[in-house]
Amino acid sequence: MSQPHGVIHDIGYRPFTGRRQGTGAIAASLYLTSLRHCFGLGRSGKSKVIPFLIFAIMLIPALVLAGMLIQLHKMSMSSQADLFGPLSNYFGYPYWTQLLITIFAAAQAPVLFARDLRYRTIVLYFARPLSRAVYVLVRLGALVTALFAIIAIPMAIWYAVALTAYVDTGEQSHNFWTAMVGVVVLVLVIAAFSGMIAALTTRAGLAVAAIIIALMVTSGIVTALLGAAHGSHNGTLGLVVAAFNPFTAVAQLVTGVFTTPAPNPDLPHPSAAWATAYAVIALVWILGPVWVLLLRIRKAAAL
């Protein structure tokens, strides 16, 4: 007597008869979903609080600076001289608000990486497999976009007001667009580093704490050492120390390449050779965490 064979029963579900989308469409869908999740869209109500609260707080200093620009021509000449530098130093904005930027990255990176690795699943169902490299780059692209938005939108408001104020619009435009280049580099660094920490910890709470501690503790140490180097007139020490934190490293890159004012007076002005070195340092800050992140995803996929 022959053994019974398995039977597939048709229980009435309608099969998919359309054309399956390619890798580009899958990556675009993952990117849009990831970007929405960075701002809590499509998630619970409490998930929207931190991103939108941070964005609202980020607007405050930009609006204050814009208001000061409007009133600048009504001030005394000495007040104008004291304020013109800070009011035209656009890269100072992400440098001054680095705590808020860090909190945003720390809150959203685990959403994109830690949860997937911990539960080994994502919210989308793909019609075909997506490579690990594409997955990592798309997730990072969404985090980079979100970080850039919360920084660039307030800066754009500040710049738009500056163009209508009684200031040198040529200098304002130069500083603004060079600062935007710096912001692009900065968000690439912050996104890559935050994504790496989130992937290594896989627990959202630990990842948030680890990212904030890693970025803010190094920032505090670097700031203290920069002050000591400036007080002892040791410019070389200041240039070396600045490389160990993303905010100071990118600030030095922007200052050295575009000859713009430094956001911190303790930062020594880099020479052309040091500007080249900081470009290499920025690449290390970006490519190193991305490489570790790819290794972490590969290891998780092999389990």
Encoding tokens for residue 11? Answer: 């229980």
- Alpha carbons within 13 angstroms on the beta-carbon side of residue 185 total 26
For 56, the enclosing helix (H) or strand (E) is helix 49-71
At residue 125 the predicted structure's pLDDT band, cuts being 50, 70 and 90, is low
Token pair recorded at residue 269: 């002005």
* pLDDT the model gives residue 142: 95
Q: What is the pLDDT of residues 143-184, one digit of tens each?
A: 999 999 999 999 999 899 888 877 778 888 888 999 999 999
The full DSSP string for 215-234 is HHHHHHHHHHHHHHHHHTT-
How is residue 233 written in tokens? 């007139």
pLDDT digits (tens, 9 = 90+) for 102-118: 999 999 999 988 877 77
Report whether 253 contacts 282 (CB < 8 A): yes
Q: Is 297 within 8 Å of 199 (Cβ atoms)?
A: yes
Copy the structure tokens of residue 270: 């880099």
How far apart are the C-alpha atoms of 54 and 39, rounded to whole Å?
A: 10
pLDDT reported for residue 78? 47
The encoded tokens of residue 264 equal 């911190």
**Are 155 and 93 contacting, i.e. CB atoms less than 8 angstroms apart?**
yes
Confidence of residue 22 (pLDDT cuts 50, 70, 90): confident
pTM of the shown model: 0.88
Quick check: 210 pLDDT over 80? yes
- Residues 53-98 have pLDDT tens digits of 999 999 998 888 888 777 765 654 444 444 545 666 889 899 999 9
- Residue 167: Cβ within 10 Å count: 18
pLDDT at residue 241 greater than cutoff 60 = yes
